[in-house]
Structure 1
Amino acid sequence: MQPIVIIGSGMAGYTLAREFRKLNPEQELVMICADDAANYAKPTLSNALAGNKVPDQIALGDAEKMRTQLNMRIETHTWVKEINAEAHELVIEKDGHKTTQAYSKLILAVGANPIRLAIAGDGSDDIHVVNSLIDYRAFRDTLANCGTEHCEDKHVVILGAGLIGCEFANDLKHTGHKVTVIDLATQPLGRLLPSHVASAFKNGLEEIGIQFVLGTTVEKVGKHEKKGYVITLANGQSLLADVVLSAIGLQPNITLAKSAEINTSRGVLTNARLETNQQDIYAIGDCAEVNGTLLPYVMPIMQQARALAKTLAGQQTSVHYPAMPVAVKTPAAPLTVLPAPIGVDINWETEELEDGMLAKATDAEGTLRGFVLLGPTAGKQRLTLTKLVPDLIPVSAE
């Protein structure tokens, strides 16, 4: 029997391998990845500074440790150039040499790529993105070596006031950096929060010194002889910065899937069993659009991995999504969000608290479909409210 092959060594790929090994210790497993296959949790990158973790302390295991732990072959620094779905075979390239790899089942765990804006200026190529431990190491190196010796004199400009941008802003400010967040939207976390909660959340971050420049975008990043970079905004304003970090979002990596005639939309399209339209090919994690839904968060990945592991072990299993709140790592304004499903008409009911607010999203029948908890007191109701929200995707065969 040919091996099960996983493309990608992120959280989705490693979690699937771990869950499968609980059910089948012997079936041959192969992981193929373009980097060094270090095993780490990407969400830890946006608060590693406050946790006093240097990049070398973030990885839970290198490729050799993971090979032993999971009894699997890991091909590092290897690129999948082609998927031949009919022949159940991959064309892979390593060190300039191409070979083939057969598979019995193939899992795409290829993640998502950072969205990059087209920004003018001779400093635009120096804009950092953090989508991997390798990216994070480069960002920390720049942060350590730029500007002056003292953190408070280093100004980091963050493009994007979404979840990751706000988490990095909190982390950098907590460790003494000057931070400015720029976004075209008029509020932070625009896709997750109603405006009145977003305003209170923004106030919480501003109270610790984080600055927001909203309703505009960056037109140019030029090098500055004394202060790193000069950033020109569409509203005519300009800023000086030592480091520029882009956190404007991710796009599922669908290039490889499309080349193999696997159906894609925003992500790689699958049914509830995580099957694509090509026989014996599955998708999982940030790249997977399951029944029309993209959920690039930790808990959905865990649910997907458990379900797919059972399927690969011979027990056909659909993914089951219970209500899965997202904790935003911004201690200056503690926030938990359970987004309401896209396409559901909701009404917001808000309760003001001394240290925050509780906002409930209910549908036309009065059913709780999502919520936002801002502040320590509201956060205590997380478990109680979560139990009231119906499953996002019911168990089904399709």
Structure 2
Amino acid sequence: MRPIIIVGSGMAGYTLAREFRKLNKEQSLIMITTDDASNYAKPTLSNALVGNKAPEQIALGDAEKMRNQLDMTILTETWVKAIDAEKHQIELETNGQLSTLDYEKLVLAVGANPIRLAISGDGADDIFVVNNLNDYKAFRDHLDRRQEKRVLILGAGLIGCEFANDLKNTNHDVTVVDLAPRPLGRLLPEHTAIAFQENLEQAGIQFALGTTVDKVVKIKQQGADIDYEVTLSNGQRFVVDVVLSAIGLQPNINLAKSSKIHTSRGIIANSLMETNQPDIYAVGDCAEVQGTLLPYVMPIMQQARALAKTLNGESTHVHYPAMPVAVKTPAAPLTVLPAPTDVEVNWETEEFDDGMLAKAIDQEGTLRGFVLLGATAGKQRLSLAKLVPDLIPAQSS
């Protein structure tokens, strides 16, 4: 029998392989990845500093360990150049050499790429992004060589705020820049965003909001070090050691689009994780499941468990229960369950000494989302989640 091929070695790819192997020890599995196939949890990157984890300690296993653990072939530093859905065949490139592989089922777990803004100045190419372990190694290597450790973060979303808290907790001088008027503007209603921002500011994190980075210019210092002068569109200027961009991700859809696989914001998949092409599936940050993109850990787990069963012959629809997101900002402990964007809600807020609980209530009086700020409110996470309707209901196959 031809193999099941998984394209991508991120959390989605490895979780799927692990879940499938629980069900089927015999089926041939091949994983194809453009990197070295290190297995690690990407969410750990944004709090590795305070956990005193060196980049070398983050990976849970290298390609050889994962080959043995999951009894599968892993092709590293290999690119999938084309998919022939009719022939059930892919074209690969390794070290400049082209080859083909036939597949029984093909899973695209190709993740998402960082969004990059057009920024002027001779220092723009030195802006770091952290989307994988190799990115993080380069970022930490640069950071560890600097003495003053002044960091400017572009993006006050979830990842930007997590990195800001981690860096501040390890004695870095941190400024966060965002075009939005408040941090986590897409996840939080204004009154909770204000409280969240105030907590982070009390911890020493600075914000420059309602503006963006216009120019990054190198300033040569004595010795080997280079500082960067960052000019914002509102005229503010900062001199820093490093600039980190964390303004968000875009699903990687280029391979799918070139293969006549339907895409929108992500690779379009139904509740069986199927694309429009036979025996081709999408999973993880690249997958837009029934119109929903959720680049978080719990949705990936739900997708992988369901798809593993489907690949093993037991058609299983993915189920999205209420899945709150825990934001790793100890200075402002936060759990968020965003309300659906197409539902009109009113916010009901209860304040505590250490934070607040805000509930999103729809017109029928049903709880559709919530924000828990602080340790006291956080204790209600599980009980509240049970009251929220499923985003994608469970269904029988």
Common fold: TM-score over 0.5: yes
- Contact persistence 1:15–1:302 (CA under 8 A): yes
- Contact persistence 1:272–1:396 (CA under 8 A): no
Q: Structure 2: which amino acid aligns with 1:144? A: D
Query: Could you tell me which residue of structure 1 aligns to residue 251 of structure 2?
Result: 252
User: CA offset at residue 225 of structure 1?
Assistant: 1.7
| 1:216-265 superposed Cα distances (whole Å, 9 cap, x missing partner) | 01110000123610001110111101000000000000000000000000
TM-score norm. by structure 2 comes to 0.98
| 1:2-22 superposed Cα distances (whole Å, 9 cap, x missing partner) | 000000000000000000000
Query: Could you tell me which residue of structure 1 aligns to residue 78 of structure 2?
Result: 78
| 1:66-103 superposed Cα distances (whole Å, 9 cap, x missing partner) | 00000000000000000011100000000110000110
User: CA offset at residue 390 of structure 1?
Assistant: 1.0
1:216 aligns with 2:207: no
Query: Could you tell me which residue of structure 1 aligns to residue 167 of structure 2?
Result: 172
2:178 to 175, 178, 183: 183
Q: Following the alignment from structure 2 to structure 1, what is the Cα–Cα distance between the partners of residues 344 and 314?
A: 36
Q: Structure 2: which amino acid aligns with 1:340? A: A
Q: Structure 2: which amino acid aligns with 1:287? A: C
Query: Could you tell me which residue of structure 1 aligns to residue 117 of structure 2?
Result: 117
Q: Following the alignment from structure 2 to structure 1, what is the Cα–Cα distance between the partners of residues 53 and 169?
A: 14
Q: Structure 2: which amino acid aligns with 1:166? A: C
Query: Could you tell me which residue of structure 2 aligns to residue 158 of structure 1?
Result: 153
Query: Could you tell me which residue of structure 2 aligns to residue 334 of structure 1?
Result: 333
Q: Following the alignment from structure 1 to structure 2, what is the Cα–Cα distance between the partners of residues 115 and 138?
A: 18
User: CA offset at residue 346 of structure 1?
Assistant: 0.9
Query: Could you tell me which residue of structure 1 aligns to residue 55 of structure 2?
Result: 55
Query: Could you tell me which residue of structure 1 aligns to residue 309 of structure 2?
Result: 310
Gaps of 5+ in 1: none
| 1:154-205 superposed Cα distances (whole Å, 9 cap, x missing partner) | 1000000000000000000000000000000000000000000000000100
Q: Structure 1: which amino acid aligns with 2:184? A: L
Query: Could you tell me which residue of structure 1 aligns to residue 342 of structure 2?
Result: 343
Q: Structure 1: which amino acid aligns with 2:71? A: N
User: CA offset at residue 208 of structure 1?
Assistant: 1.0
Query: Could you tell me which residue of structure 2 aligns to residue 262 of structure 1?
Result: 261
State the identity %: 73
1:192 aligns with 2:206: no
Q: Following the alignment from structure 1 to structure 2, what is the Cα–Cα distance between the partners of residues 161 and 378?
A: 23
Q: Following the alignment from structure 1 to structure 2, what is the Cα–Cα distance between the partners of residues 7 and 396?
A: 28
Query: Could you tell me which residue of structure 2 aligns to residue 360 of structure 1?
Result: 359
3-state SS in 2 of match to 1:196: helix
Q: Following the alignment from structure 2 to structure 1, what is the Cα–Cα distance between the partners of residues 270 and 261?
A: 13
User: CA offset at residue 342 of structure 1?
Assistant: 2.1
TM-align CA RMSD: 0.9
3-state SS in 1 of match to 2:285: helix
Gaps of 5+ in 2: none
Q: Following the alignment from structure 2 to structure 1, what is the Cα–Cα distance between the partners of residues 338 and 102?
A: 40
- Contact persistence 1:272–1:395 (CA under 8 A): no
- Contact persistence 1:273–1:397 (CA under 8 A): no
Q: Which shows bigger deviation, 54-63 or 225-234?
A: 225-234
Once the two structures are superposed, the pairs formed by residues 21-32 of structure 1 within 5 Å of their partners are 21-32=21-32
3-state SS in 2 of match to 1:176: coil
1:395 aligns with 2:397: no
Q: Following the alignment from structure 1 to structure 2, what is the Cα–Cα distance between the partners of residues 309 and 225?
A: 53
Query: Could you tell me which residue of structure 1 aligns to residue 143 of structure 2?
Result: 143
Runs of 4+ in 1 over 6 A off after TM superposition: none
- Contact persistence 1:31–1:73 (CA under 8 A): yes
